Copies of this chain bind each other. A is one copy, B any other.
């Protein structure tokens, strides 16, 4: 798939692709605060349970989240705090885009 066959790039792009969806990014930020189960996330997102579960499995395949089973519930948590750093590090870019957008309006 694709022309770049560098394993590190493949790994990175899988992770970034998993993060590149609004619902999954929302999930990441929610469970970064506090681990949550599917039904809790489903409530906050407002999508079908199966949809949420599928997003979670994509995050899991990318290694972004861990699970802990408690009875029938499955609690999802961040596997690495570095994911928060990754997201946070983009703040300057967003500010730059806003600045440029304002300048463009003048």
Chain A residues near B (Cβ < 8 Å): 1-4, 6, 8-26, 29, 45-47, 63-64, 79-80, 82-83, 85-87, 89-94, 96-97, 100
Contact = CB atoms under 8 A, between A and B. Distances in A.
Contacts of A29: 9
Nearest to A93: B80
A89 B90 CA distance: 11
Contacts of A1: 22
A interface secondary structure, majority: helix
Q: How many copies does the complex hold?
A: 2
- A4, A26, A45: residue with the most chain B Cβ atoms closer than 10 Å: A4
A13 to B, nearest CB: 5
Contacts of A8: 94
A16 B19 contact: yes
B90 A82 contact: yes
